[in-house]
Amino acid sequence: MLQQVFYSIVFALSLICALIYIYMWHKHFDVNFTMIFTLVPVACLGYLMSASADSLEGAIRAQQVIYIGGCFLQYFILLSILNLCKIEMKRWVRPALFAICAFLYASVLTVGHLDIFYKKVSFDVIGGVPTLTKEYGGMHTLFYVTIILFFLIGMITIVYSIIKKNKQVPRNILYLLVIPDVVCVFSFFIGRKLLSNFDIVPLAYVLAELVYLLIAYRFNLYDVSDTVIDSFVKEQNVGYISFDFNYRYLGSNEVARALLPEIEDIEIDESIGYKPEQRKIRHYLDSFKKNASNNKFVYNVRSKDGNPDEDRIYNVTVNYLYDANRKRGYIISFADDTANRKYIKLLDSYNETLKNEVDEKTKHIVDMHDNLIMSMAMMVESRDNSTGGHIKRTSTGVKILIEEIIKEGGMELTDEFCRDVIKAAPMHDLGKIAVKDQILTKEGRFTDEEYDEMKRHAAEGARVIHEILKQTDDISFKIVAENVAHYHHERWDGSGYPEGLAGEDIPLEARIMAIADVYDALVSKRVYKEAYDLAKADRIIMEGMGSQFDPGLEPVYVNARPRLEEYYSKLQEA
Q: Which domains does the chain have, with CATH numbers?
A: 2-222 (1.20.1070), 237-336 (3.30.450.20), 357-573 (1.10.3210.10)
Q: Which long-range contacts (CB under 8 A, 24 or more apart) does 281-285 make?
A: 281/241, 281/332, 282/247, 284/316, 284/318, 284/332, 285/243, 285/247, 285/318, 285/330, 285/332
Is there a contact between 555 and 569 (Cβ–Cβ < 8 Å)? no
Q: At what angle do helices 93-108 and 138-163 cross, to 10 degrees?
A: 150
- Of 405, 397, 422, 441, give the one whose Cα is nearest residue 571: 397
- Of 298, 433, 322, 445, give the one whose Cα is nearest residue 377: 433
- Which helix (H) or strand (E) segment is 239 a member of? strand 239-244
How do 326-336 and 118-126 pair as beta strands? unpaired
Is there a contact between 205 and 196 (Cβ–Cβ < 8 Å)? no
d(CA 106, CA 171): 38
Positions in the chain short of pLDDT 50: 222, 224-225, 227-228, 387
d(CA 510, CA 513): 5
Q: What is the distance in angstroms between the CA of the first residue and the CA of the last residue of the chain?
A: 128
Is there a contact between 318 and 245 (Cβ–Cβ < 8 Å)? no
User: Is the peptide bond between 498 and the residue preceding it cis, with omega within 30 degrees of 0?
Assistant: yes
Per-residue model confidence (pLDDT) at position 224? 42
- Of 247, 246, 249, give the one whose Cα is nearest residue 260: 249
d(CA 242, CA 252): 6
- Of 173, 256, 179, 153, give the one whose Cα is nearest residue 220: 173
Is there a contact between 273 and 265 (Cβ–Cβ < 8 Å)? no
Is there a contact between 454 and 465 (Cβ–Cβ < 8 Å)? no
Q: Which amino acid is at 462?
A: A
d(CA 152, CA 145): 11
d(CA 558, CA 116): 98
Q: Which amino acid is at 50?
A: S
Helix (H, G, I), strand (E, B) or coil at 471: coil
Q: At what angle do helices 338-382 and 390-408 cross, to 10 degrees?
A: 140
In angstroms, the Cα distances linking 353 to 314, 348, 350, 504 are: 29, 9, 7, 46
Per-residue model confidence (pLDDT) at position 228? 46
How do 326-336 and 239-244 pair as beta strands? antiparallel
Is there a contact between 285 and 318 (Cβ–Cβ < 8 Å)? yes
Per-residue model confidence (pLDDT) at position 510? 92
- Which helix (H) or strand (E) segment is 537 a member of? helix 534-544
Residue 50 burial (CB count, 10 A): 23
Helix (H, G, I), strand (E, B) or coil at 333: strand
DSSP class of 189: I
- Of 150, 115, 149, give the one whose Cα is nearest residue 135: 115
Name, in order, each residue with C-beta under 8 angstroms of 488's C-beta and a sequence gap of 6 or more.
Answer: 428, 458, 510, 513, 514, 517
Helix (H, G, I), strand (E, B) or coil at 313: strand
* CA-atom Rg of the chain in angstroms: 44
Handedness of CA 188, 194, 198, 203 (dihedral sign): negative
- Of 428, 427, 481, 434, give the one whose Cα is nearest residue 454: 434
d(CA 192, CA 270): 57
d(CA 162, CA 344): 50
Residue 258 burial (CB count, 10 A): 15
- Of 66, 75, 63, give the one whose Cα is nearest residue 118: 63
- Of 247, 221, 440, give the one whose Cα is nearest residue 329: 247
Q: Which long-range contacts (CB under 8 A, 24 or more apart) does 25-32 make?
A: 26/220, 26/226, 28/220, 28/223, 28/226, 29/216, 29/220, 30/80, 30/83, 30/84, 30/216, 30/219, 32/76, 32/77, 32/79, 32/80, 32/83
